[in-house]
Amino acid sequence: MYQKFSQEKTALLKIGLQYSIEKPLEKYWTDLIMETEQVIRMLDIKMQAPFRILAAKKLNQIRTSGNHQNITAKRQIYILKNINSKLVKQNAMVVKADKGKTCVIIYADKYNKKVHNFLNENNFQKLQKDPTGKYQKLTTKALQHSELIVSKKQNKNKILLILCFHWS
């Protein structure tokens, strides 16, 4: 069964999958503070205090600005929840199209068939074991032996941080 969307819903979908709706400050405030502190701790010890002061001023400015989520963002969240409920009822999903930045709505069973056919037609083979851990260890070892990327003075956490940014 074909599902029609209103102009408002279609306009929001046309913005694309990369579009990010502003979240209410309460949803990310604690994470923002913790991540800021983590970055400051990576600095030279002498630079940490001045950067904490700058960060505290900027965080306070963000908190007191009062314009954390505008009416448009609230409306977009409402529309997305409505779209999602329709998709769930119809067992459909929004996926990126084969080419371009376009998104399409497709029924889950049709999508699963397409993926299955693609895997079969292109001779993919299922691995016996997930190789991710092996490659993470090799990458960590390479980073530890490379003075150009991470100096001997830097700790293991910075190597892990680099790995996290690499894979995210």
Mean pLDDT of 20-24: 75
Does residue 116 fall inside a structural domain?
no
For every residue of the chain, which 3-state class applies, written as one string?
CCCCCCHHHHHHHHHCCCCCCCCCHHHHHHHHHHHHHHHHHCCCHHHHHHHHHHHHHHHHHHHHCCCCCCHHHHHHHHHHHHHHHHHHHHCEEEEECCCCCCEEEEEHHHHHHHHHHHHHHCCCCCCCCCCHHHHHHHHHHHHHCCCCCCCCCCCHHHHHHHHHHHHC
pLDDT digits (tens, 9 = 90+) for 54-75: 999 988 888 887 665 567 788 8
| pLDDT bracket for residue 168 (50, 70, 90) | very low
pLDDT value of position 43: 86
167: pLDDT confidence band, cut at 50, 70 and 90? very low
> What is the domain range of residue 74?
7-107
pLDDT over 60 (residue 85): yes
pLDDT score of 28: 79
- What does the alpha-carbon distance between residue 160 and residue 162 come to, in Å, rounded to a whole number? 5
Average the pLDDT over 107-126 and give the result: 92
Does 145 have pLDDT greater than 90? no
* pLDDT at residue 91 tops 70: yes
Instruction: Please say if the pLDDT value at position 161 is more than 70.
Output: no
Calculate mean pLDDT across residues 135-154.
73
Examine the domain organization and report whether 100 and 163 are in the same domain.
no
Residue 63 CB coordination number (10 Å): 13
Number of domains in the chain: 2
Indicate whether 144 pLDDT > 90. no
Q: Which of 85, 70, 80 is nearest to 17 (CA)?
A: 80
The model's confidence at residue 160, banded by pLDDT at 50, 70 and 90, is: low
Q: Tell me what the pLDDT averaged over the chain comes to.
A: 81
Q: Which of 92, 107, 122 is the last residue of a domain?
A: 107
28 found inside a domain: yes
26 within a domain of the structure (yes/no): yes
* pLDDT top residue among 100 and 1: 100
Q: Are both 99 and 20 inside the same structural domain?
A: yes
| The pLDDT of residue 166 is above 60 | no
